[in-house]
Amino acid sequence: MPRPRLSKASIGYLLNAPFVDMHAKCSQGGGGYKMALDTQHVFCRVAHVIHTDKLALSRYNIVPCKFKVPHSELYPPHLRGFTLNFGAFRHAHKRHRLDPAVVASLDAIGFVWDAAQHKWELQLLCLQLYKLQHGHTNVPRAFDIPSTDAWPTHLWGLPLGVMVNDLRKAMNTLAPPKLALLDALGFAWNAHDVIWTRQLAAVTTYAALYGHTNVPRMFVVPTSDPWPQDTWAMKLGFVVHNLRTKASGLARERKAHLDRLGFHWDARWSRPRTDETALTSIEIVEV
């Protein structure tokens, strides 16, 4: 049976009004549109339910801009199936059109008023914690925040690798204060440069330890000093093999770095006979 046509004066219409129409009502001059208190209470009540229904929240714990009330026992029966325009509700808050008691009630459950700012703050927090744990900000693309004690529970499952990739793409449009915060954190704007820096550090350390760069194919960097921590467990033998096979495509500056290390581009070179396990005291020379 088709749903009856709603009067523009009804709560049902206000809940389902298109974003543009609702936006206009909330921003008219001469005092502007003030959302009726009973309508505010409807939004408030549903927001409280949403915060107990984690499946309804976005991955950033944000109530969606347009929220269709599920046919679930958690929600008031008379609202099920309606689409609530939380975008308009947030706009009313931005223009100070909401009742202070409603705002206080939603603040108490952590309701997100500014979705963009909230997402940015989560991204920054995730990056800070990642760097604290890993020593760098070059987050792998597939990295999601694990559900472990090392991370706050409200961050679990966030796709940090995807977020970092999005930040790199947005570099030219980010506000200067955000750019400054990321730069201060040592944000890796170019993942390829970070990978190269780690590889060069590993080859440099190997050369200082063993007197040559003819790394065995199966050599893996030990997880101990004097190896730089961000090179630990690197499959250096495969890295060196790839550098050789892609020599023609290497940037001139990178090739020069390796040449200064005495890098052997021909794997058939016979390295000097040395006791590689006996070397304990070395000096790492920067290139």
Assess contact for 62 and 119: CB atoms under 8 A.
Answer: yes
| pLDDT tens, residue by residue, 143-197 | 899 999 999 988 988 999 999 989 998 888 999 999 999 999 988 888 788 788 8
Q: Is the pLDDT of residue 108 over 90?
A: yes
DSSP state of 248: G
Residue/partner pairs of 47-56 with CB below 8 Å, 24 or more apart: 47/86, 47/106, 47/109, 47/111, 48/105, 48/106, 48/109, 49/74, 49/75, 51/109, 51/110, 51/111
| pLDDT confidence bin for 7, thresholds 50/70/90 | very low
DSSP state of 54: G
Residue range 97-103: mean pLDDT, rounded: 94
One-letter amino acid for residue 135 of the chain: G
| pLDDT recorded at residue 279 | 43
Query: What value does the mean pLDDT of the chain take?
Result: 81
| pLDDT recorded at residue 2 | 52
| pLDDT recorded at residue 120 | 93
Assess contact for 250 and 268: CB atoms under 8 A.
Answer: no
| pLDDT confidence bin for 33, thresholds 50/70/90 | low
Angle between helices 19-26 and 86-94 in degrees, nearest 10: 20
Residue 52: how many CA atoms within 13 Å on its side-chain side?
8
| pLDDT recorded at residue 268 | 62
Query: Which among 7, 91, 84 has a CA at the least distance from the CA of 41?
Result: 84
Residue range 266-287: mean pLDDT, rounded: 47
Assess contact for 102 and 41: CB atoms under 8 A.
Answer: yes
Task: List the domain boundaries for the chain.
Answer: 11-108, 115-184, 191-278
Assess contact for 159 and 144: CB atoms under 8 A.
Answer: yes
Rounded Cα–Cα distance for residues 80 and 63 (Å): 16
- The C-alpha angle with vertex 221 and arms to 200 and 134, in degrees rounded to 5, equals 80
Q: Which residues of 231-270 are buried (b: 16+ CB within 10 A; e: fewer)?
A: beebbbbebbeebeeeeeeeeeeebebbeebebbeeeeee
Backbone angle region of 103, left / alpha / beta, with phi > 0 → left and psi within -120 to 50 → alpha: alpha
| pLDDT recorded at residue 35 | 83
| pLDDT recorded at residue 248 | 84
Tell whether pTM > 0.75: no
